[in-house]
């Protein structure tokens, strides 16, 4: 895959349910001096109304064929709503080495359908299915109402007419297929975590796929994503705010490549202690392993991407900024099956308990408003405090849930695991001024098999450090880590 910072030659644009390639015309016109846009009709829609193959994989294959024919050097994928789910499937194929998709450099997800089943209310789904096969007059009336329901302010009459005509051009079979099947396809495990730099655009007034849905269901699958919220906008962003959409895309395509993974800084003096003969070689090797930088696109093995994002958010409320990915390290430990040798008898095995606890926390958040990942720090703290005190009201569901009493135990375990992982890193040890690692070494082994001449501590008085002990750094102000807020474009 080309270096992500390189601007693409082409942007392939995919439309929303009921839309067509011409949905992207206002944005493409404004991007004419930035990137060439290739807007495609997905099977069953627009000029491809007679084409079949309505599931996500079939739609992705049709787009891959078009990209192969276009032969771009570098290209971006832009998906709107339904088209975003197809774009995510294509991005996974590209990152897995599909020769037809060599050159993917950027993703743009506009009010995107997430990798997991789309959060659409069942009564609304039933109504949309009911009118698509009705008589022409009913269909025309309902199609116009559909467009109006998906914008926050009326479109210009000519734009509304074109959008309504697109809905009426759609093959009823394709419309039904998406609502009954495609929107419910679960690609979360297959998509995993993508490395391709991504822009998430969301309308502040979009009820189903707005900022809340994007934060909870789409962003966890993207290692390098930036979210922009278009204030006062509904679901049809390319038609409602083409200037803002085009400007955001242009900035995204011109942006610098993602930064490399940050490595928690180990002061030179502490690094010298680790390298000295005062530190046992086995301990030195363990510290070196703990100091390795984390992969920002780490794909979880025990949890799924949304659960990993939930765990990262929980850890960020429990501990100060660590400089390394505690949640990813906890997931790797859970996947390995290696534990600390005990667990609360009322909790299931560790990996199952983590999954159930995280989903219970998010279910409790959703039952009282926004998902956990869409809440600010104070909102997350309130839920965690309720879990800690046995007051978290967890609704029942098909997925395993922990009751309030078991949530107390689970959150205690999570805090202990997170703190243990935090304290095991040499950067944390240096920050705390812990020099006990220098009391080991190898020494010499006598005839009796016992080690002698091991280095240790001589001075034991208060404020009387050994000459070899590194000076601890100045303590940083204590504050909980916070996520960067999404940018709001007005």
**What is the predicted pLDDT for the residue at 490?**
57
Report the phi/psi class of residue 18: left, alpha or beta, with left for phi > 0 and alpha for psi in -120 to 50: left
Task: Give the lowest-confidence range in 9-13, 247-251, 479-483.
Answer: 479-483
176: exposed, middle or buried (C-beta count within 10 Å: 0-12, 13-18, 19+)? Answer: middle
Asked if 54 contacts 174 with a C-beta cutoff of 8 angstroms, the reply is yes
Q: In this structure, what token pair is assigned to residue 40?
A: 């495609």
Asked if 290 contacts 429 with a C-beta cutoff of 8 angstroms, the reply is no
Q: What percent of the chain has pLDDT over 70?
A: 92
Asked if 141 contacts 207 with a C-beta cutoff of 8 angstroms, the reply is no
pLDDT beyond 90 at 399: no
Contact residues for 79 (Cβ-Cβ < 8 A; gap 6+) = 13, 14, 85, 86, 87, 88, 107, 108, 109, 110, 112
What distance in Å separates the CA atoms of residue 80 and residue 82, rounded to the nearest whole number?
6
Contact residues for 392 (Cβ-Cβ < 8 A; gap 6+) = 360, 361, 364, 383, 386, 404, 407
Q: Which residue has the tokens 């504050």?
A: 479
What distance in Å separates the CA atoms of residue 410 and residue 118, rounded to the nearest whole number?
29
Rounded mean pLDDT of 155-179?
97
What distance in Å separates the CA atoms of residue 336 and residue 330, rounded to the nearest whole number?
10
Q: In this structure, what token pair is assigned to residue 415?
A: 């805090």
Q: At 39, is the secondary structure helix, strand, or coil?
A: strand
263-296 tens-digit pLDDT: 889 999 999 999 999 999 999 999 999 999 999 9
Separation of CA 398 from chain center: 23
| φ, ψ dihedrals at 455, nearest 5° | -70, 150
Q: In this structure, what token pair is assigned to residue 330?
A: 């906890």
DSSP state of 51: -
Question: pLDDT class for 340, splitting at 50, 70, 90?
Answer: confident
Q: Which residue has the tokens 């197809």?
A: 86
What distance in Å separates the CA atoms of residue 114 and residue 116, rounded to the nearest whole number?
5
**What is the predicted pLDDT for the residue at 5?**
47
| φ, ψ dihedrals at 342, nearest 5° | -155, 165
**What is the predicted pLDDT for the residue at 488?**
64
**What is the predicted pLDDT for the residue at 481?**
46
What distance in Å separates the CA atoms of residue 438 and residue 451, rounded to the nearest whole number?
16
What distance in Å separates the CA atoms of residue 50 and residue 52, rounded to the nearest whole number?
7
What distance in Å separates the CA atoms of residue 1 and residue 86, rounded to the nearest whole number?
19
User: 88: closest CA among 167, 173, 189?
Assistant: 189
What distance in Å separates the CA atoms of residue 69 and residue 288, rounded to the nearest whole number?
48
Q: Which residue has the tokens 């920050």?
A: 431
Quick count: other Cβ atoms within 10 Å of Cβ 183? 20
Strands (E), 213-302: 225-230
Rounded mean pLDDT of 469-486?
63
pLDDT beyond 90 at 443: no
Which structural domains are found in the chain, ordered by start? Answer: 10-254 (3.40.50.1820), 294-424 (no CATH)
Q: In this structure, what token pair is assigned to residue 232?
A: 């006062």
Q: What is the pTM of this model?
A: 0.90
């Amino acid at each position: 895959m080309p270096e992500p910072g390189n601007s693409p030659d082409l942007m392939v644009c995919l439309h929303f349910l009921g839309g067509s390639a011409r949905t992207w015309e206002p944005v493409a016109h404004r991007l004419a001096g930035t990137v060439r846009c290739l807007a495609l009709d997905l099977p069953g829609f627009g000029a491809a109304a007679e084409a079949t193959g309505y599931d996500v994989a079939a739609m992705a294959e049709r787009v891959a064929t078009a990209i192969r024919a276009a032969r771009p050097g570098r290209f971006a994928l832009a998906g709107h709503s339904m088209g975003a789910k197809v774009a995510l499937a294509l991005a996974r194929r590209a990152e897995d080495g599909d020769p037809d998709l060599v050159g993917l450099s950027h993703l743009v997800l506009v009010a995107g359908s997430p990798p997991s089943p789309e959060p659409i209310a069942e009564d609304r789904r039933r109504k949309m299915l009911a009118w698509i096969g009705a008589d022409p007059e009913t269909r025309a009336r309902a199609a116009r109402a559909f467009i109006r329901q998906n914008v926050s302010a009326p479109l210009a009459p000519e734009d509304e007419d074109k959008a309504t005509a697109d809905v009426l051009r759609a093959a009823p079979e394709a419309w039904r297929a998406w609502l009954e099947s495609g929107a419910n396809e679960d690609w979360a495990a297959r998509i995993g975590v993508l490395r391709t730099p991504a822009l998430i655009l969301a309308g502040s007034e979009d009820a189903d796929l707005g900022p809340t849905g994007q934060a909870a269901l789409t962003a966890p699958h993207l290692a390098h994503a930036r979210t922009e919220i278009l204030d006062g906008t509904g679901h049809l962003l390319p038609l409602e705010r083409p200037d803002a959409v085009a400007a955001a895309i242009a900035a995204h395509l011109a942006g610098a490549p993602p930064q490399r993974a940050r490595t928690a800084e180990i002061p030179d003096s502490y690094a010298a202690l680790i390298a000295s003969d005062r530190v046992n070689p086995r301990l030195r090797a363990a510290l070196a392993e703990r100091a390795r930088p984390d992969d920002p696109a780490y794909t979880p093995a025990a949890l799924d991407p949304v659960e990993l994002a939930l765990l990262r958010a929980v850890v960020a409320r429990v501990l100060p900024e660590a400089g390394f990915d505690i949640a990813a390290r906890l997931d790797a430990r859970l996947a390995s099956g290696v534990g600390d040798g005990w667990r609360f008898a009322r909790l299931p095995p560790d990996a199952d308990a983590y999954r159930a606890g995280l989903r219970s926390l998010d279910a409790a958040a959703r039952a009282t408003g926004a998902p956990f990942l869409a809440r600010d720090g104070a909102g997350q703290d309130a839920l965690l405090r309720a879990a800690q005190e046995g007051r978290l009201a967890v609704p029942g569901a098909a997925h395993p849930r922990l009751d309030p009493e078991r949530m107390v135990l689970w959150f205690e375990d999570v805090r202990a695991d997170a703190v243990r992982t935090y304290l095991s890193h040499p950067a944390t040890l240096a920050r705390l001024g812990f020099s006990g690692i220098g009391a080991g070494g190898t020494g010499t082994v006598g005839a009796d098999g016992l080690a002698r001449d091991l280095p240790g501590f001589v001075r034991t008085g208060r404020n009387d450090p050994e000459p070899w002990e590194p000076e601890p750094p100045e303590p940083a102000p204590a504050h909980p880590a916070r996520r960067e807020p999404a940018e709001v474009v007005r």
